[in-house]
Amino acid sequence: MFFPFLSLFLGIAFLVYGGRNVVTYSVDLAIKLKVSELFIGIVVIGLGTSLPELFFTSYVSLEGFYDLAVGGIIGSNIANTLLVFCLMLIFINDNYKYENINQWDIYWMIFSTIFLSLFIFNGKIDDVWPIFFIILLVLFYIHSFRGSRVISTQQTSDFSYIRISGGLVFGFLLLYLGTYSFIYGTKAIGHIFAIPDGILGLSIAAIGTSAPELLVTIISIRKGSENLAIGNIIGSNITNIFGVLGLSSLLVRLVNDDSIVISEIFTKIHLMVLIISSIIVLFIVRVKPVGVLRKSFGYLGLISYALYISYILI
């Protein structure tokens, strides 16, 4: 029992230090490229923090644990919206301007969720559909770049592109190691209590793979870079579906000559929670709540997530 808890502790330590590196160098990259922090959050950090999901989902998919793979994606996206986003609502600065958010990026997130639901009801991802998943991810990145406002700033970065790239790679490496260590510990504890794979993916594995997004969000808010946090949440959710699940399905097709089979368990409350939580993000961005109202939305989301986790574990 000692080693799983040690693995959890080391995982959290790596996540904290890696998250700090990613945020610091992402801000410098936005300054260098003269693009918005939101775009950097969506593409660079969103893609980087989805690496744990990619490694985890690809591995368990090739091993045939499809419930764990799909459950990890769905659970991670739910955690990003109801846990990470709602925590951000509680601690974000009251002066934050929601106008910085391109609502079309959120529409893409909702579209990706509905797109995934079609395959959940179909029961599998087969034929050439994995390639379409990846194509849609590329189209989203192109659309997001076109919608990203090129900014004129007097800020300068003291770092070269090589230093920034190295810092980001090192930060993402620490996030990967931290996530792997975190998941190893939580998975071991989960198996001790005989938690089924589908439930393990929706809860423990999902929270573990969402840990990078959570840490990046907290650090971004502390550094006053809220756009990085929001972009990270949106970008990560879309990348998880189109990129991670699409690439994992393609690997299963090429390596095992098989298709990812999706259990009926996900057609129940889990899919409904995923869709509703995605729409809630759009609703909050359009309403632009501040002060007590904003915090209330945040606490309500956290309570909803706690009830959801309690429901699937009991």
- Give me the mean pLDDT over the 296-314 stretch: 89
Model pLDDT for residues 138-193, shown as the tens digit of each residue: 999 888 887 665 555 555 667 788 888 888 888 888 877 877 787 777 667 667 76
Burial bucket for residue 23 (CB in 10 Å: 0-12, 13-18, 19+):
buried
Q: Is 261 helix (H, G, I), strand (E, B) or coil?
A: strand
Q: What is the number of structural domains in the chain?
A: 1
Model pLDDT for residues 87-133, shown as the tens digit of each residue: 999 988 877 777 778 888 999 999 999 999 999 888 888 888 999 99
Give me the phi and psi of 8, to 5 degrees please.
-60, -45
313 or 77, higher pLDDT: 77
Q: In this predicted structure, which of 27-36, 75-84, 160-169 has the lowest mean pLDDT? A: 27-36
182 or 276, higher pLDDT: 276
Helix H or strand E segment including 162 = helix 161-192
What's the CA gap between 234 and 13, in Å, rounded? 25
134 or 184, higher pLDDT: 134
Q: Is 124 helix (H, G, I), strand (E, B) or coil?
A: strand
285 or 154, higher pLDDT: 285
303 or 163, higher pLDDT: 303
| pLDDT for the residue numbered 195 | 67
Q: In this predicted structure, which of 28-42, 192-206, 228-242, 257-271 has the lowest mean pLDDT? A: 192-206
| pLDDT for the residue numbered 274 | 92
Residue 196 CA, chain-centre distance (Å), reads 23
User: Which residues have CB under 8 Å from 302's CB, separation 6+?
Assistant: 82, 83, 86, 87, 90
pLDDT exceeds 90 at position 137: yes
User: In terms of residue numbers, what domain contains 213?
Assistant: 2-313
What's the CA gap between 113 and 119, in Å, rounded? 10
- Give me the mean pLDDT over the 11-36 stretch: 78
What's the CA gap between 51 and 144, in Å, rounded? 20
Mean pLDDT estimate for the chain: 83
Q: If we measure between CA atoms, which residue out of 42, 79, 113 comes closest to residue 301?
A: 79
DSSP bridge partners of 260: 125
CATH number at residue 100: 1.20.1420.30
- Give me the mean pLDDT over the 212-240 stretch: 84
What's the CA gap between 44 and 312, in Å, rounded? 32
What's the CA gap between 98 and 76, in Å, rounded? 24
User: Which residues have CB under 8 Å from 281's CB, separation 6+?
Assistant: 81, 85, 106, 109, 233, 234
Where are any strands of DSSP class E within the chain?
A: 124-125, 260-261
Categorize the per-residue pLDDT at 241 as very low, low, confident or very high, splitting at 50, 70 and 90.
very high
Q: What is the pTM of this model?
A: 0.84
Helix H or strand E segment including 299 = helix 291-313
- Give me the mean pLDDT over the 291-305 stretch: 93
- Give me the mean pLDDT over the 289-296 stretch: 90
> 259 vs 190, 244, 246, CA distance in Å?
27, 15, 11
CB 201 within 8 A of CB 57: no
CB 26 within 8 A of CB 196: no
CB 185 within 8 A of CB 5: yes
280 or 58, higher pLDDT: 280
